[in-house]
Structure 1
Amino acid sequence: MALLIHILACAFGLGSWVAVNGLWVELPLIVTTLPEGWDVPSYLTVIIQLANLGPVLVTLMHKWWPGRLKETAVIYSILSVGIVSCFLLAFFWDEMTVVAGASHSTAFFIITFFLSLVDCTSSVTFLPFMMKLPAKYVTTYFIGEGLSGFIPGMVALMQGVGMAKCVNTSQAHVNLTDGEDSWVLQTQYLPSNFSTEIFFFFLAAMMCVSLAAFCALDRLPQTCRLSTESLVPGTVSPVCSGLDNPGAETDGKGVQHESNVTSESRSLAAKPKHSLCQLTFIYSLVLWVNAVSNGLLPSVQTYSCMPYGNLAYHLSAALASVANPVACLFAMFFPNRSLVFLGMLGLLGTGFGSYNMAMATLSPCPLLQNSEAGVAIIVLSWVFFTGTMTFVKVMVGVILRDRSHSALVWCGAASQMGSLLGSVTMFPLVSVYKLFKSGDFCNTKCPI
């Protein structure tokens, strides 16, 4: 039963951000069809932030009308909306309408708003629902959330999204010195292995899997929700001892056993004590980690990687997606709740993120551009940045899960607020002031 619940929790987590992550990895194909072209990412950023209306409403309901909002009903609703939206996207994503005399992707942007509403609202509904299960399943949920980015990324790689080659093309003008046409290298994108419509149907299928998993979790017997495994004297699971039973009693020989009290009293006894200063640090950490990992850095990943070549970009995207669930697994088997450790790890991740940001700023001529060392460093930097920040997110979620239900709600709200601040900060820098310059890795010439 414990293994089954782990699988269900992981599958439930798949529906958290799969739609928005899928849209981002599919952008290289989408922008070649839509009239907005490479301005589509800027529109997506704004739409996703507008969709934070969902988490704001849910958080205010929990604050001012506690108990009125039925979490399960909200989750059923948003997952159903996500499934319908993915199917509609498959049929209407390239439909255009004329607004003010110009063609616009009105259908695509409207459907994208509803998908973003689903994913943003999941931050303040999915995680609090996991409060009904032992803490170790929260870690499994985070693994599923990581896979919601990894799986679409792998499917997009199989689809061949953004794969390109350098080809010689003749310039239209004639070389004035020798009277011959001049030749230059240009980037030519290869055709995809399957269509965008099939990819959106795949996203709809993943949302269906998440809904089915939630239905099963919601119908679990109460005994399974309270405890899904018994502790045998002398055999203590390293995960459960760290996460499941923080308030378990020990006998004289140091062996854990559960006291004969009600589950409610066990829960109260296990509730950790944090000072106001510690809570401020925890929520500040949540805010910062989500700001850099969901807002600041994703906006400049192409600028930091593409100057090193197409391979560097795809490796950084794919391996960073792998680092997310791997970090979740590491948090499951080697948990560490020390706030000092989590703060240092967040600082280390910020260091990797700073290197990535610096290379984006130097684009189209970053450090070690024409060397294998440069490619390896930028790929590893993105992998370690994602891994460290994910570990911090998971452990903070586990800490707050043991505190209270409302603590998880505010954790989700802080996550969305951090993502909003990061995106709002980067949008004018990238899309308005054009501080970052993209480079054609086939044709950019940099000083040695």
Structure 2
Amino acid sequence: MSLRIHVLACCFGLGSWVAVNGLWVELPLIVNTLPEGWDLPSYLTVIIQLANLGPLLVTLMHKLCPGRLKERAAIYSVLSIGVLACILLAFSWDETTVVAAASRSTAFFILTFFLALVDCTSSVTFLPFMMQLPANYITTYFIGEGLSGFIPGLVALGQGIGMAKCVNATQSSGNLTEEDMYIVQTQFLPPNFSTEVFFFFLAAMMCISLAAFSALNRLPRSFELSTENLVPDTDTVASVCSGLDNHGAVTEGENSNPKRHSEESGQARPQMAKSGHSVFQLTCIYFMVVWVNGATNGLLTSVQTYSCMPYGNLAYHLSAALASCANPVACIVAMFFPKRSLVLLGVLCLIGSVFGGYNMAMATMSPCPLFQGSALGEAIIVLSWVFFTGILSYVKVMVGVIFRDESHSALVWCGAAAQTGSLLGSVIMFPLVNVYNLFQSGDFCNTKCPL
């Protein structure tokens, strides 16, 4: 029975962030088809931020109508919506409509919103349900949640997208003699399997999560134990990671804290230990939260195509897939090597920002960034994105741990600061990319860059 529940808990965690992570790692293939092209990540960044309406509604329900929201029904609903949205994406992801005299990926945007709504809402519904099981199963759930970002990245790598070559072609010059002239075109090699198959794979993972939840929900009621079996304070890193993803934020709902859950269940909540930080230190940490989330969830993700695509589709593909894997790896590192030193976190934040600054600089230099056309340039940009995501993800986790030890209200304000940073980053970059067109795209094969 114990092994079976561990497997079910892990499979249940797979459905937490698999859809949004899957969309991001598949973007290197999607941007070549949809009319938004290189601007697509900036649209997705805003849509994902809007999807935080889900956790907000859940939080308001707990505040205004305590006891009215049924967690089991909510989880069934969000997982079912996720399965349906993935299936619909497989059939209609490339369908376009004309909006304001321009072709737009309306179906893709709408379905992406529902997938993001599912994943964001999982932060405040999945974990409270898992709190009803003994603490050793919570760790297994967190492993499944980490795999929800890791597995799509591996599958995308196996898909083999991003392989392209430059080929000679001819076209008519358009003059009276109609003599042909040679041009160079980018020819993308077919992936090992299509985007439709990848979306069906995401739907299958959501189905596995739904089936695992259904099985967990049918367990004997003897497993619904008291708060003595909830996650102890030593697991704070894991519980903070439960609300962390590449493109969302640290989302803290009413039930994301085990102690809060026990309080709402009528149990006396133990007093949290104060960490003793001064007002100035707390203010600096809050600014760090705003900056880190603004950079990782808004500023840089909006221009990832501009920083990577000039080096070729393969560089973009690897940066998206490996950066997606870097996030759960950062959570694992934080669980085994938790460092709460504010000086160390400040230094890591600075180092991660340096990598982010390099990525932004390459985006502004598009279509002719440094070392364009060389293997060195491709390796640097991929590693820069991996280190940028991994280092700042570690900072996010440890800051969340610090605030959880400070007080519950500090943790709530941490979530608010994270969402504020993510929203500001998205709002700032969207007009710069899509209205003022400050970033320029280019053809890898035809762009002539000075040496």
Whether the 8 Å contact between 1:327 and 1:387 is mirrored in structure 2 is yes
Instruction: Give the number of aligned pairs.
Output: 420
Of 422-431 and 394-403, the range deviating more from structure 2: 394-403
1:302 aligns with 2:308: no
Alignment of 1:421-440 (within 5 A): 421-440=424-443
Whether the 8 Å contact between 1:59 and 1:413 is mirrored in structure 2 is no
Whether the 8 Å contact between 1:360 and 1:436 is mirrored in structure 2 is yes
Whether the 8 Å contact between 1:171 and 1:183 is mirrored in structure 2 is yes
Q: CA deviation at 1:294?
A: 1.7
* Aligned mates of 1:406, 1:206 — CA distance in 2: 35
CA deviations 1:211-237 (Å, max 9, x no partner) are 34445666582459744999xxxxxxx
Alignment of 1:11-30 (within 5 A): 11-30=11-30
Structure-2 residue corresponding to 1:195: 194
Aligned letter for 1:203?
A: L
Question: Identity across aligned pairs (percent)?
Answer: 73
* Aligned mates of 2:141, 2:361 — CA distance in 1: 33
Aligned letter for 1:150?
A: F
Q: CA deviation at 1:331?
A: 1.3
Unmatched 5+ residue regions in structure 2? 239-261
* Aligned mates of 2:285, 2:216 — CA distance in 1: 29
Q: CA deviation at 1:88?
A: 2.7
Q: CA deviation at 1:185?
A: 2.2
TM-score, normalised to structure 1, is 0.77
SS at match of 1:26: helix
* Aligned mates of 1:282, 1:393 — CA distance in 2: 10
Of 156-165 and 427-436, the range deviating more from structure 2: 156-165
SS at match of 1:186: strand
- Residues 77, 185 of structure 1: alpha-carbon distance in 2 compared, 3 angstrom cutoff: same
Whether the 8 Å contact between 2:38 and 2:306 is mirrored in structure 1 is no
Whether the 8 Å contact between 1:82 and 1:207 is mirrored in structure 2 is yes
Aligned letter for 1:303?
A: Y
Matching residue within 357, 360, 365 for 1:362: 365
CA deviations 1:44-92 (Å, max 9, x no partner) are 3443333232233233344555555444443332122212222232334
SS at match of 2:184: strand
SS at match of 1:167: strand
Structure-2 residue corresponding to 1:116: 116
CA deviations 1:174-232 (Å, max 9, x no partner) are 899xx9744232211122332332221111111123334445666582459744999xx
Matching residue within 213, 223, 228 for 1:221: 223
Structure-1 residue corresponding to 2:248: none
Structure-2 residue corresponding to 1:332: 335
Structure-2 residue corresponding to 1:172: 172
Q: CA deviation at 1:394?
A: 2.6
Whether the 8 Å contact between 1:429 and 1:435 is mirrored in structure 2 is yes
Alignment of 1:71-150 (within 5 A): 71-95=71-95, 105-126=105-126, 144-150=144-150
* Aligned mates of 2:339, 2:4 — CA distance in 1: 25
- Residues 398, 66 of structure 1: alpha-carbon distance in 2 compared, 3 angstrom cutoff: farther
- Residues 286, 63 of structure 1: alpha-carbon distance in 2 compared, 3 angstrom cutoff: farther
Of 206-215 and 358-367, the range deviating more from structure 2: 206-215
* Aligned mates of 1:136, 1:363 — CA distance in 2: 49
- Residues 337, 7 of structure 1: alpha-carbon distance in 2 compared, 3 angstrom cutoff: farther
Aligned letter for 2:182?
A: W
Of 425-434 and 129-138, the range deviating more from structure 2: 129-138
Whether the 8 Å contact between 1:89 and 1:108 is mirrored in structure 2 is yes
Q: CA deviation at 1:353?
A: 0.8
Structure-2 residue corresponding to 1:259: none
Q: CA deviation at 1:141?
A: 5.6
- Residues 364, 98 of structure 1: alpha-carbon distance in 2 compared, 3 angstrom cutoff: closer
Matching residue within 348, 359, 382 for 1:345: 348
- Residues 14, 423 of structure 1: alpha-carbon distance in 2 compared, 3 angstrom cutoff: farther
Aligned letter for 1:382?
A: W
SS at match of 2:186: strand
Structure-1 residue corresponding to 2:246: none
Aligned letter for 1:17?
A: W
SS at match of 1:183: strand
- Residues 192, 364 of structure 1: alpha-carbon distance in 2 compared, 3 angstrom cutoff: same
Q: CA deviation at 1:416?
A: 3.6
CA deviations 1:324-368 (Å, max 9, x no partner) are 222222112112233333233222211211111111111112223
Aligned letter for 1:205?
A: A
Aligned letter for 2:58?
A: V
Of 104-113 and 160-169, the range deviating more from structure 2: 104-113
Q: CA deviation at 1:26?
A: 2.9
1:446 aligns with 2:449: yes
1:387 aligns with 2:395: no
Unmatched 5+ residue regions in structure 1? 231-238, 245-262
SS at match of 1:170: strand
Whether the 8 Å contact between 1:127 and 1:409 is mirrored in structure 2 is no
Structure-2 residue corresponding to 1:258: none
- Residues 60, 119 of structure 1: alpha-carbon distance in 2 compared, 3 angstrom cutoff: same
Aligned letter for 1:189?
A: F
Matching residue within 268, 289, 311 for 2:270: 268
Structure possessing the higher radius of gyration over alpha carbons: 1
Of 211-220 and 392-401, the range deviating more from structure 2: 211-220
Structure-1 residue corresponding to 2:380: 377
Structure-2 residue corresponding to 1:234: none
Query: What is the root-mean-square deviation of aligned Cα atoms in Å?
Result: 4.1
* Aligned mates of 1:337, 1:3 — CA distance in 2: 34
Structure-1 residue corresponding to 2:250: none
Whether the 8 Å contact between 1:120 and 1:416 is mirrored in structure 2 is no
Whether the 8 Å contact between 1:14 and 1:144 is mirrored in structure 2 is yes
Aligned letter for 1:168?
A: N
- Residues 147, 422 of structure 1: alpha-carbon distance in 2 compared, 3 angstrom cutoff: farther
Of 36-45 and 53-62, the range deviating more from structure 2: 36-45
Structure-1 residue corresponding to 2:204: 205
